[in-house]
Amino acid sequence: MIVNERVTAYINSLGKEYTPELMKLEKYALENQVPIIRKETQALLKFLLTTRQPKQILEVGTAIGFSALFMSEYSSHDCKITTIEKVEMRLVEARKNLVNQAFSKRDKISLLEGEALEILQELEAKKMTYDFIFLDAAKAQYMNFLPYLLNLLQAGGILLTDNVLQDGMIINSRYGIKRRDRTIHSRMREFLYAITHMDELETVILPTGDGVAISYKVK
């Protein structure tokens, strides 16, 4: 927990309830220890979708489909959402959830199965562009994804990156991190430095949820 737990709980208590279908899927994820976007990140995502009204959304990291279905509920009626996932145990649930008739706006969503890096390369080759990208996949790969995400993101578009502060562990030195976690720690630091220093992006990092970065593509 990055922000005081009581403060976070209070802020979350102020939020409006989401659809019963989303709440049911969120409960399933929590009970089965499936990582999904946290309540406070949900609120931020909903705010951005409502104010930005993107037409083409790309999500890297579907998991069981919660965030894609969440975005389908709070994006414009003509928005299209493309979501990428490779992990088979997640795909088993995602395939079911994304065709579940309980989610009335599921037709906005297209699922692409496979390695994210390969699919990003394919989308770039097809000259696809998006005005909103949500990155919530393998954290050690964020830096590898970045060049393709920049090419896919339209000028004036938003890149929203989740889990960038690693429960606050990102501030620790390399030697304060368990050996098995050092690679992901150093790669996330590299990613954060890159998105906050490149001319193409204007980025703010917020201690929301597990840390989110909001990057606006200037050019």
Q: What is the pLDDT of residue 114?
A: 95
Q: According to the model, what pLDDT value does residue 16 have?
A: 82
pLDDT, position 11: 85
Whole-number pLDDT of residue 131: 96
Q: Is 113 exposed, middle or buried (0-12, 13-18, 19+ CB in 10 A)?
A: middle
In the structure encoding, which two tokens stand for residue 138, read together? 């393998």
pLDDT at 7: 87
Phi-psi bin for 103: left (phi > 0), alpha (psi -120 to 50), beta? beta
pLDDT at 176: 58
Neighbours of 14 (CB within 10 A): 7
| Domains of the chain and CATH, by start | 5-217 (3.40.50.150)
pTM of the predicted protein model: 0.92
Per-residue pLDDT of the chain (219 residues; tens, 9 = 90+): 677 788 888 888 888 888 889 999 999 998 988 888 989 999 999 999 999 999 999 999 999 999 999 999 999 999 999 999 999 989 999 999 999 999 999 999 999 999 999 999 999 999 999 999 999 998 889 999 999 999 999 999 999 999 887 665 665 566 556 666 566 677 888 899 999 999 999 999 998 888 899 999 997
| pLDDT computed for residue 13 by the predictor | 86
Side-chain half-sphere of 77: how many Cα atoms within 13 Å?
Answer: 0
User: What integer pLDDT is reported at residue 180 of this predicted model?
Assistant: 60
